[in-house]
Chain A
């Protein structure tokens, strides 16, 4: 699975859009981009995933560049409760073996939303 690179930390003002970037330059054609977040002392929370088209749900939007080498998670109106570590993960599908099913979280981006 492709390696991802994220900035270690970002700040955002409450009510503004938070744009979190992720580089995945070695992504292959059948690999999806997933975003999770983890608020302090809670379990990780699935946010969104995509292959090549932009995706939107009630939590966020995911913009994937045309060459698929990078993506941006957008929280349109950040609130204080969005302060968390955000993880970008790239996963393909390899049946069998211990990697199948495993989510691997890197260091992620610590997003701090300020009043």
Chain B
């Protein structure tokens, strides 16, 4: 059974803190994605990676960075957390190419609150 896991389901951080969200997949997928989901705004892509050490900006990369040192692990970093980064963060993975690229498997999500 395919599996994407995220380090925390709920997280509360203070403004200005550096925040690390971890995602691990066990499907040997090349692609990994970080989205955030907010009411009324839908799913928005922050960053994605198609290979180790490779990354591409999504729609809303400002205030975020990512790290992919191993194929199975993709980390999202909030350099200095702000209240407008309070959101549900979703990690996903998919095979490399062709129509399966959009066959994305999601983790359970991390609900981050920045106070």
Contacts and interface: CB of A to CB of B under 8 A. Distances in A.
Contact of B108 (A42, A51, A91, A103): A42
B109 A105 contact: no
Interface stretch (A7-15, A74-82, A93-101): A93-101
Interface residues of B, number: 26
B105 interface: yes
A101 B45 contact: yes
Range of interface residues on A (Cβ < 8 Å): 20 to 34
Contact of A105 (B33, B42, B105): B42
Interface in A65-96: 89, 91, 93
A102 B45 contact: yes
Contact of B43 (A34, A41, A91, A105): A105
Interface of B: 4, 31, 33, 35, 42-43, 45, 48, 50, 56-59, 90, 92, 98-99, 101-109
